[in-house]
A and B are shown apart, each in its own frame.
Chain A
Amino acid sequence: MALLPSSLWDRVRSCPKSQDPWIPPQKTLGTRYTHLYLLCELVSDDSRCRLSLDDRVLSSLVRDTISRVHGTFGAAACSIGFAVRYLNAYTGIVLLRCRKEFYQLVWSALPFITYLENKGHRYPCFFNTLHVGGTIRTCQKFLIQYNRRQLLILLQNCTDEGEREAIQKSVTRSCLLEEEEESSEEAAEAME
C-alpha cells in the first residue's frame, strides 16, 4: 500500500546520482535550489597573507580560478549560487557557498589557487578544504570541534611560557563551554 501514487513513487526511487560532475542529478520533488557549504582553511607561510584576506578579493580569486580550470561553462555554472559566507582573517577560515549540482567543480578548482594578490603584492598560499556541509550550522559545529583540536595541538607545540599559559586558559574555557553546551542539550531533550 503506497502513500504516494505509484508514478510518483517510481520517480522518487529512480533519482540517479550521476558520477560525472558535468551532468547534474535529476531533481524530482521540490523546486528550491539546494546549496552546499565548503569550509576551507587558507594556509600560508607569510603572516601578512591572511590579514589581507577580503571577501571581494577572495570571491574574485575563486571565480578567476574556476574560469581558468573549468572554462566558460564552469564559470557560469558556479557563479550563480556562489558566495563567501564567512571569513576569519586571523585564523584564515573561509566558508563558501555553491549550488549542489556544481559543487564538485568549485571543490576541484580550489587546489589550483596558488597565490593571493593584494595591492600588487603576491603571497603564495593554498586552500585546505576541511568540511563540506549542507547547512551553515553543521559547518559551525565542525569548526568548533576543529578549533578545539587545533588548540590542543598548539598547546603541545608551543615553546614560550607566556603563550603556553594563554593557550591553557583558552583550552579550559572551551572545555567549560563544551560541558555547558552538552548539559543544555540534555536539558532540552529531557524537557521534550
Chain B
Amino acid sequence: MPAPAATYERVVYKNPSEHCYMKVCLEFQDCGVGLIAAQFKRLLISAVKDLFGEVDAALPLDILHYEEKTLSAISRICSSGLVKLWSSLTLLGSYKGKKCAFQVIQVSPFLLALSGNSRELVLD
C-alpha cells in the first residue's frame, strides 16, 4: 500500500521580537574618564539626537547592565531603532571634548545570546 502523500507546511520566521539587545563598550583615547550609568545613557541618547533628531532620540532605550570600570553596557532598543542607534554610535566622536569611540561587541534579538560570546572563548 503506498504511503499517504506527505503534507508540507511552510513557516516563515521574520524576527518578530520587538527588542534588540546590544553589548557595547566605550573607549577613550586618554585614560581616567569615568561615567556613571545615567551619564552613559545620556551619551547614547545625545548621539541619536545629533544624527536623527528629537523624534528618534525619544525611542525607548534601556541600559540593562552597566560596568563602570570597563565602561561596557548591555542596552536594549526596539527593533526598528537598532539601525539608527548603531549608526549614531558609529558616528559619535567625543564626550565633553575628549575623544572616544564605541565598540559594539555583540548584537542579538535574544538576551540569552549575549551571555556567551564565542569570540572570547579561551581554549585550554
Interface residues of A (CB under 8 A from B): 20, 22, 67-74, 108
Question: What would 11 more interface pairs be, CB under 8 Å, given A68-B54, A70-B53?
Answer: A67-B53, A70-B55, A71-B48, A71-B50, A71-B52, A71-B54, A71-B56, A72-B50, A72-B51, A73-B52, A74-B53
Interface presence of B49 (CB below 8 A): yes
Provide the bound-state CA to CA distance between A20 and B55, in Å.
14
- Which one of A70, A71, A72, A108 has the greatest number of beta carbons of chain B within 10 Å? A71
Provide the bound-state CA to CA distance between A20 and B50, in Å.
20
A-B contact pairs, 10 of them (CB 8 A): A20-B80, A68-B54, A69-B53, A69-B54, A70-B53, A71-B50, A71-B51, A73-B52, A73-B53, A74-B52
Q: Please, which residues of chain B bring their CB within 8 A of the CB of A108?
A: 55
Name which residue of chain A comes closest to B48, CB basis.
Answer: A71
Q: Please, which residues of chain A bring their CB within 8 A of the CB of B54?
A: 68-69, 71
3 tightest A-B CB contacts, nearest first: A71-B53, A70-B53, A71-B52
Q: Please, which residues of chain B bring their CB within 8 A of the CB of A73?
A: 51-53
Q: How many Å from the CB of A120 to the closest CB on chain B? A: 26
Provide the bound-state CA to CA distance between A74 and B55, in Å.
11
Q: Please, which residues of chain A bring their CB within 8 A of the CB of B80?
A: 20
Name which residue of chain B comes closest to A75, CB basis.
Answer: B53
Partner of A69, one of B48, B51, B55, B84: B55
Provide the bound-state CA to CA distance between A22 and B85, in Å.
14
Q: Please, which residues of chain A bring their CB within 8 A of the CB of B48?
A: 71
Provide the bound-state CA to CA distance between A73 and B52, in Å.
6
Q: How many Å from the CB of A73 to the closest CB on chain B? A: 6
Name which residue of chain B comes closest to A71, CB basis.
Answer: B53
Q: Please, which residues of chain A bring their CB within 8 A of the CB of B51?
A: 71-73
Name which residue of chain B comes closest to A67, CB basis.
Answer: B53
Q: How many Å from the CB of A104 to the closest CB on chain B? A: 11
Q: Please, which residues of chain A bring their CB within 8 A of the CB of B50?
A: 71-72
Q: How many Å from the CB of B114 to the closest CB on chain A? A: 26
Name which residue of chain A comes closest to B57, CB basis.
Answer: A71
Provide the bound-state CA to CA distance between A67 and B55, in Å.
11
Provide the bound-state CA to CA distance between A70 and B53, in Å.
4
Q: Please, which residues of chain B bring their CB within 8 A of the CB of A67?
A: 53
Q: How many Å from the CB of A6 to the closest CB on chain B? A: 25
Name which residue of chain A comes closest to B91, CB basis.
Answer: A72
Provide the bound-state CA to CA distance between A73 and B53, in Å.
8
Name which residue of chain B comes closest to A23, CB basis.
Answer: B83
Provide the bound-state CA to CA distance between A69 and B84, in Å.
15
Q: Please, what's the 1-or-0 string for B23-52, where 1 marks a CB less than 8 Å from any CB in chain A?
A: 000000000000000000000000011111
